[in-house]
């Protein structure tokens, strides 16, 4: 029988307790003692130095890569279960807690829980404070005892008067206990950051940077017909390209604001933010009567990334 070698002790392989299998390669270590050759288990990802940042996640869910004597887990059935169950993550029905072990381990870049009560508390906290909108895109089996989901979650902070919306996209890797078919690990990965290890300062910053405080700034603006037309943008762009009282060319900046003034989107306001060092008293006057300069007092706003 192959044995696992650790320091100077010979230990028998431990029967799997938890889930999320990975393919492994084995390295036989020569031994000069009468003991049988030792085997060091390494995952394929561990052999790839580019994947070292996921080492923490493997520690959470990695088990010996052997099947139980009589596998009874219907992983395809659990995939179908997720399609039915996860859309209820934040509604009044909620998820089916019986599908999870009492000691289920949850990790995301800024949160961790090691019990089903903590897991459900985290869901309840998000539901009551942020009113999340959860969209499940797909569910796939990604290992003998592992399921991965892809999702988008929009959260709205009800504690702030302007109720900013923050958008998160990512994947969840769910580990299955091969002995009882219940989920025993849940690890979230956010698309917006590189370091998904708990506790990730990058993850914490990613949350807070989406709510920003803006200093006062100046815009050149015009009302420009329908949203699909370019008339308004051409007018304000013309101002910074030299169509002004001094023919001064002003550097282009971001963002460009488009604001609908009616429900039919037939009347929109187009605004280009001017460089912060510019003062409204020193800027040239627009050459077109439909274009004007305006100071915006700034304030706190939510920013959402898109591509």
pLDDT at residue 27 is higher than 50 = no
Lowest-confidence range among 2-11, 41-50, 281-290? Answer: 2-11
d(CA 145, CA 141): 8
Q: Are residues 124 and 195 in the same domain?
A: yes
Residue 59 has pLDDT above 60, yes or no: no
The verdict on 31 and 117 lying in the same domain is no
Higher per-residue pLDDT: 168 or 240: 240
Q: What is the mean pLDDT of residues 228-252?
A: 85
- The domain boundary, picked from 211, 236, 257, lies at 211
Domain-located, residue 307: no
168 and 264 in one domain? no
**Mean pLDDT, residues 226-249 taken together:** 83
- Residue 202 belongs to what domain range? 75-211
Q: Mean pLDDT over residues 32-53, rounded?
A: 42
Provide the pLDDT for residue 29: 43
Query: 211, 237, 264: which is the final residue of a domain?
Result: 211
CB 187 within 8 A of CB 61: yes
Scanning 65-181, the segments in alpha helix (DSSP H) are 75-85, 116-130
Looking at the structure, tell me whether residues 160 and 79 fall in a common domain. yes
Sign of CA dihedral 92, 176, 207, 305: negative
pLDDT score for 69:
53
Cα separation, 162 vs 158, whole angstroms: 8
pTM (predicted TM-score): 0.52
pLDDT the model gives residue 14: 38
Say how many domains are in the chain: 3
Confidence of residue 85 (pLDDT cuts 50, 70, 90): very high
Work out whether the CA dihedral 44, 45, 50, 55 comes out positive or negative: negative
Question: Cβ–Cβ contacts within 10 Å for residue 145, how many?
Answer: 28
Looking at the predicted structure, is the pLDDT value of residue 97 above 60? yes
Give residue 267's pLDDT band: very low, low, confident or very high (50, 70, 90).
confident
Cβ-count burial 119-130 (b if 16+ within 10 Å, e if not)? bbeebeebbeeb
CA 77 distance to own-chain centroid: 26
SS3 76: helix
């Amino acid at each position: 029988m192959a044995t696992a070698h650790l320091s100077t002790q010979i230990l028998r392989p431990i029967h799997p307790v938890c889930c999320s299998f990975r393919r492994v390669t084995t390295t036989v270590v020569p031994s000069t003692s009468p003991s049988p050759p030792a085997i060091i288990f390494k995952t394929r990802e561990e052999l790839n130095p580019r994947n070292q940042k996921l080492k923490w996640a493997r520690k959470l869910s990695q088990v010996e890569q052997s099947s139980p004597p009589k596998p009874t887990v219907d992983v395809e059935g659990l995939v179908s279960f997720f399609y039915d169950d996860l859309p209820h993550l934040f509604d009044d029905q909620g998820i089916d807690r019986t599908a999870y072990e009492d000691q289920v381990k949850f990790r995301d870049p800024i949160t961790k829980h090691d019990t089903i009560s903590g897991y459900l508390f985290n869901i309840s906290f998000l539901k009551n404070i942020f009113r999340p909108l959860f969209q499940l895109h797909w569910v796939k089996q990604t290992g003998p005892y592992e399921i991965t989901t892809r999702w988008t979650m929009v959260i709205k902070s009800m504690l702030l008067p302007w109720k900013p919306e923050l958008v998160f996209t990512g994947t969840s890797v769910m580990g299955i206990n091969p002995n009882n078919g219940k989920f025993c690990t849940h690890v979230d990965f956010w698309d917006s950051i590189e370091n998904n290890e708990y506790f990730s300062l990058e993850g914490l910053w990613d949350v807070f940077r989406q709510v920003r405080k803006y200093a006062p700034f100046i815009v050149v603006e015009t009302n420009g017909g329908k949203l699909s037309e370019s008339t308004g943008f051409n007018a304000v762009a013309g101002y910074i390209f030299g169509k002004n009282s001094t023919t001064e060319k002003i550097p282009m900046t971001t963002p460009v604001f488009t604001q609908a003034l009616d429900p039919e989107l037939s009347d929109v306001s187009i605004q280009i933010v001017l460089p912060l060092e510019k003062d409204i008293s020193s800027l040239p006057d627009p050459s077109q009567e439909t274009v004007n300069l305006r100071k915006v007092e700034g304030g706190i706003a939510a920013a959402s990334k898109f591509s």
